[in-house]
Amino acid sequence: MEQSAPVLRIDGLRVDFRMRGRTNRAVDGVSFALNKGEILCIVGESGSGKSVTALSIMGLLNVPPAEIVSGEILYKGMDLLKCGEKEMRQIRGGQIAMIFQEPMTSLNPLYPVGKQIAEAIRLHKHVNAKEAQTLAVELLKKVGIPSPERRIHDYPHQMSGGMLQRVMIAMALSCGGQVLIADEPTTALDVTIQAQILDLIAGLKEESMSILLITHDLGVVAEMADNVIVMYMGQIMEKARVDELFDSPAHPYTEGLLKSIPRLGQNEERLHVIPGSISDDAPEKGCRFYPRCEYATEKCAVSVPPLFRLAKGRLSRCWLRENEGVAEDEQ
Amino acid sequence: MRRDGLFMKLLRNRKIMAGVTILLLFTLCGIFAPLLAPHDPYEVNPSIAYQFPLAGYPLGTDEFGRCIFSRILYGARLTLPLSLLSLAIAMVIGIPAGLLSGYYKPLDGVIMRLTDLFLAFPGMLLAIAIVAILGSGVYNVTIAVGLGTAPVFARLVRGEVLSLKQMPYVEAAKTSGASGWRIILLHILPNCLSTIAVFAAMQMAWIIMSMSTLSFLGMGAQAPSAEWGAMASGGKNYIGRALHISAFPVVFIFLSVLSFNMLGNGIRDALDPRISDGNL
């Protein structure tokens, strides 16, 4: 499903956080492309740089302490990192929209939801308050809220988490943006509501929206993704099509993650765990995952593996795959 | 519906009701002073000076034989509006400074060092210093107390903004392309309002105190003027002979301070869900 020009392309993004004289690299050389009508999932544990990547795209990192050291974020060929605040405001919401993990607190408790959607519309479209209100009703209908004409007058506390996430999605859709960044959109919701919200997001793909879905739930990945990026400590460890990733993971970290999923009918005493835990400091040299890897060799301890291109759209940052592909990026 | 609920909750609070009742009474006294006052507040009558309450003079007479009750009624016309004006000055300067300081990090250092500078002096001393620069007089005292209170508001609002800025809905507003100003006015300020309301009521008590104190010290309202602080000051030399000359104005200062304090406390309790309804 490769298409000519990707909607969003990130190239060699590096983000540092400076705190009290210490520098932590939260994102280290991340590159990927998001195509039209694609759902790209980024998975990784907390602190792997998923959300920082998303906030970099939106230009919403707090600078300082964060600093984008290098890299390009190209939206339809335009480098967002070089855009001024005013241009970025047009892009946020107008072209690239974002939804968050906590729908309960993502809306201002003081205003009815309809008013908040209408405000978002009027930031980017020249319509009057009444037209915006009508558009808000249509949007709520589209995201599956029953009797939207009445519901637009509800305050956020009168709605459930699932409904609020629908409202957030309606706001994200309000200006006909092309890209939706969803940062763990279902984490705070219970399972049945999760499925409904995911269905809704999957439906947007049919309208050729491109979706960047950030999650740590591999179940969500399996259900939603076209392509998957696995991140660990700020680096891409593996990129693959979703079926390939689950059938034959090409990186020990991915393998470890897949093994940790509990399966029905499997009666083991304990679940598999990846030994150790993610640490604050990257190893000074060698592979980031080396200290926790069961296949670690001496080489892994000394030099950082590049991303090896195993096939089209299939990358792995592991020395074990050295002979199967060509190095994509050298560090 | 939600609004009615909150309004009813405020009405049901006894502290609020007590505070509001007294203040309403004082306000009416001020407005209808010419109708209610039995005498001209400035009419001097040496033959009946230092009188304790007697017929026609409900609160007695002062050292010049003026009707204290009439003077107190007219005094409400000075004290309450000027205190409100002072509060307005404090809020008009303090709230925007706090909003800017909390929201825009580069401004934070400058504005907060300035407030530090003001807050380093005790409030009263600061007000006295400002009056010394501006000269004495009721309006200058009003300005001085207002300026002295502004940094406290800046501090309070800044703190609120710093925490509200972290709310996901502010982040969400940014991702939908809202500008800084829009976020401050539409999302942050309205969410600080309840805190500001409580604080303003409490500050009113302090402002009335300070203004009366400054008048008592002779920096505010001048001699014949029927201002409560100045009246207390006028009677201070005769405390041994005629305590009531100072005492009655002080009681009114005390009551207005008390009622603003109760109002502030009451609003805070009513807005705080942890304190259950009805009691207190």
Which residue is listed with tokens 């479209």?
A: A125
Contact state of B178 with A123 under an 8 Å Cβ cutoff:
yes
The pLDDT assigned to A8 comes to 87
pLDDT, chain B, mean: 87
Q: Do A58 and B175 touch (CB under 8 A)?
A: yes
The DSSP code for B184 is I
How far apart are the C-alpha atoms of A58 and B250, rounded to whole Å? 60
**CB-nearest partner of A120 from B2, B176, B179:** B176
CB contact under 8 A, A124 and B177: yes
Please tell me which of the candidates A58, A93, A106 has its beta carbon nearest to residue B169.
A106
CA-only gyration radius of chain A, Å:
21
Q: Could B175 and A92 be called an inter-chain contact, meaning their C-beta atoms sit closer than 8 Å?
A: yes
Q: Which residues of A touch B175 (CB under 8 A)?
A: 58, 60, 92-93, 97-98
Instruction: Check A108 against B168: CB less than 8 A apart.
Output: no
* Min Cα separation A261/chain B (Å): 30
Most confident of A178-192, B18-32, B170-184: B18-32
Q: Give the residues of chain A that fall short of pLDDT 50.
A: 1-2, 330-331
| pLDDT above 80: residue B279 | no
Mapping DSSP to helix (H, G, I), strand (E, B) and coil, where does residue A287 land?
Answer: coil
Nearest CA in chain B to A167: B172
> pLDDT tens digits for A126-175?
888 888 888 889 888 888 888 888 888 888 888 888 888 888 888 888 87
Mark yes or no for CB contact A92/B171 under 8 Å. Answer: no
Mean pLDDT across the stretch B225-229? 87
CA-to-CA separations, B159 to A62, B91, B151, B273, in angstroms, rounded: 18, 15, 12, 21
Q: Return the structure tokens found at A149.
A: 């004409």
Chain A, nearest residue to B173 by Cα: A120
Mutation choice for B interface testing from A60, A106, A125 by most B CBs within 10 A: A106
Do the beta carbons of residue B163 and residue B202 sit within 8 Å?
Answer: no
Contacts of B167 in chain A (CB under 8 A): 105
> With pLDDT > 70 as the criterion, what percentage of chain B qualifies?
95
Average pLDDT value for residue range B50-66: 83
Q: How many angstroms away from the CA of B109 is the closest CA of chain A?
A: 15
Enumerate the residues of chain A whose CB falls inside 8 A of the CB of residue B179.
89
Note whether B2 contacts A: Cβ–Cβ < 8 A.
Answer: yes
Least confident of A32-36, A120-124, B110-114, B271-275: B271-275
Average pLDDT over residues B204-232: 87
Angle (CA) A87 A89 A91, round 5°: 75
Given pLDDT bands bounded at 50, 70 and 90, which one contains residue B277? very low
> What pLDDT score was predicted for residue B112?
93
- Please state the pTM of the whole predicted model: 0.78
Cβ contact, residue pair A92, B177, below 8 Å: yes
User: Quick one: pLDDT at residue B280?
Assistant: 41
Interatomic CA distance for residues B246 and B74, integer angstroms: 16
pLDDT at res. A331: 43
Q: Which residue does chain B place closest to A87, by CA atoms?
A: B177
Q: Is the pLDDT of residue B97 over 70?
A: yes
Pick from A202, A6, A171: nearest CA to A97 = A171
Give how far A289 is from chain B: nearest CA, Å: 32
Per-residue tokens: B40: 């001209």
Task: With beta carbons under 8 A apart, name residues in chain B contacting A93.
Answer: 175-178
Stretch B190-197: mean pLDDT? 89
| Chain A contact for B163 (CB, 8 A cutoff) | no
Nearest to A92 among B174, B182, B190 (CB): B174
d(CA B175, CA A301): 41
Region class of B199: left (phi > 0), else alpha (psi between -120 and 50), else beta: alpha
Q: What is the pLDDT of residue B274?
A: 60
Q: Please answer whether residues B218 and B136 qualify as being in contact, where contact means their C-beta atoms are separated by less than 8 angstroms.
A: yes
* Residue A60: other Cβ atoms inside 10 A: 16
Q: Report chain A residues whose CB lies below 8 A from the CB of B182.
A: 123
Would you state the structure tokens that stand for residue A123, as one six-digit string? 């930031």
Q: Is the pLDDT of residue B189 over 60?
A: yes
**Residue A102: predicted pLDDT:** 83
Q: What does B15-32 look like in DSSP terms, one character per residue?
A: HHHHHHHHHHHHHHHHHT
- Name the burial class of residue A202, with classes exposed (0-12), middle (13-18) and buried (19+) by CB atoms within 10 angstroms of its CB: middle
A167 interaction partners in chain B (CB closer than 8 Å): none
Distances from the Cα of A236 to the Cα of A61, A113, A258, A275, angstroms:
20, 38, 17, 20
Min Cα separation B179/chain A (Å): 7
Whether residue B92 is predicted with pLDDT greater than 90 in this model: the reply is yes
Residue to mutate among B175, B182, B185, B192, with most A CBs inside 10 A, is: B175
Q: What is the ipTM of this complex?
A: 0.75
d(CA A136, CA A114): 6
A55-65 pLDDT, tens digit per residue, is 888 888 877 78
**Does residue B1 carry a pLDDT above 50?**
no
Q: Which chain B residue lies closest to A93 (C-alpha atoms)?
A: B176
Closest by Cα among A110, A123, A28, A102 to A68: A28
Give yes or no for a contact between A59 and A88, defined as CB atoms under 8 angstroms apart. Answer: yes
The label of the residue with tokens 């000055």 reads: B89
B138's tokens: 């009721």
Angstroms from B195 CA to nearest CA on chain A: 14
What is the distance in angstroms between the Cα of A191 and the nearest Cα belonging to chain B? 22
Contact criterion met (CB < 8 Å) for A108 and B2? no
Rounded CA separation A318/A328 (Å): 12
Residues of B in contact with A187 (CB under 8 A): none
Looking at the complex, does the CB of residue B21 fall below 8 Å from at least one CB of chain A?
no
